[in-house]
């Protein structure tokens, strides 16, 4: 079973070398997707001969980096791709736990969850991020009959062969709002894996007006609504979906 570790990177000069050193302990197959870094990260990665590298000439968004990693894995005949962040908020020590679930051959998507098994050493998430995560996770569970606990964790293992045909194209932070509905429509088998909740920098920015929690939530729900128009959920009427979106958006206050 061939597994690629894919790391989206944008201006991570502070963290990238130590993250790569830790990941190297668990896998020799590492792909960095540099999303137009301007702080020296791109040059540092280009000098390394021990990693695979994709580079965007300009910043295209977190979702685009993940999508490109998935397609790269498909083109290079990897069976799985594990995506993880480069800011030390995802622990490389969890990679063997993902690999164990991959080897079980029971799942198509294994998603890290920071809330499935709370730990004493967990950090406190920024309030707006936690409230949005709770609200969106609840919507996903209502729509698809799941029991997810964390809709937004980027630490994931994707089986490549059923993921590439999902035709994902949501380039920004709303990527999970496209991923989950398409995973549901394709009837992929999903599981969650507990991971530690880490926030090294609670002031990290989403950029632009997405730093406003209310606007960010509305954007997420717009993407989700578009996906449900594409793949209607048989158990729900469109009016019910619209009501759910409205209530959820109003629940996240400025």
CA 136 to chain centroid, in Å, comes to: 14
Strands (E) in the chain, as ranges, are 3-9, 30-35, 52-56, 80-83, 109-113, 156-159, 190-194
Distance of CA 72 to the CA centre of its chain: 16
> What's residue 252's pLDDT?
47
Cα atoms found within 13 Å of the Cα of residue 134, Cβ hemisphere only: 9
Q: Look up residue 59 and give its two tokens.
A: 């910043």
Q: What is the pLDDT of residue 13?
A: 95
Comparing CA positions, the residue from 15, 21, 20, 80 lying closest to residue 53 is 20
Residue 72, pLDDT score: 98
From first to last of the 254 residues of the chain, give the pLDDT tens digit: 899 999 999 999 999 999 999 999 999 999 999 999 999 999 999 999 999 999 999 999 999 999 999 999 999 999 999 999 999 999 999 999 999 999 999 999 999 999 998 888 877 777 688 899 999 999 999 999 999 999 999 999 999 999 999 999 999 999 999 999 999 999 999 999 999 999 766 666 667 777 788 889 999 999 999 999 887 664 554 455 555 555 554 544 44
d(CA 173, CA 216): 9
Q: 29: Cβ–Cβ under 8 A, 6 or more apart, which residues?
A: 2, 3, 4, 5, 52, 78
| CB count in 10 Å sphere of residue 9 | 27
Taking domain 3-124+147-200, whether its CATH number is 3.90.550.10 is answered by yes
């Amino acid at each position: 079973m061939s597994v690629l570790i894919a790391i989206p990177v944008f201006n991570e000069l502070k963290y990238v070398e130590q993250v790569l050193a830790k990941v190297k302990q668990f896998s020799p197959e590492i792909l960095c997707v540099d999303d137009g870094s301007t702080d020296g990260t791109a040059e540092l990665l280009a000098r390394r001969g021990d990693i695979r590298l994709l580079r965007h000439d300009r910043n295209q968004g977190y979702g685009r980096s993940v999508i490109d990693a998935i397609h790269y894995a498909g083109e290079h005949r990897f069976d799985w791709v594990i995506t993880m962040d480069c800011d030390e908020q995802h622990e490389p020590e969890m990679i063997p736990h993902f690999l164990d679930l991959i080897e079980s051959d029971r799942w198509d998507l294994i998603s890290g969850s920071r809330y499935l098994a709370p730990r004493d050493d967990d950090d406190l998430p920024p309030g707006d991020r936690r409230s949005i995560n709770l609200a969106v996770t609840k919507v996903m569970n209502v729509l698809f009959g799941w029991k997810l606990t964390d809709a937004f964790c980027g630490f994931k293992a994707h089986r490549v062969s059923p993921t590439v045909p999902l035709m994902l194209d949501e380039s920004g932070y709303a990527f999970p709002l496209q991923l989950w509905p398409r995973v549901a429509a394709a009837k992929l088998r999903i599981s969650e894996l507990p991971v530690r909740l880490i926030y090294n920098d609670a002031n990290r920015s989403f950029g632009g007006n997405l730093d406003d929690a209310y606007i960010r939530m509305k954007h997420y729900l717009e993407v989700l609504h578009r996906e449900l128009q594409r793949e209607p959920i048989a158990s729900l009427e469109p009016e019910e979906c619209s009501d759910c979106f409205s209530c959820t958006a109003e629940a996240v206050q400025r």
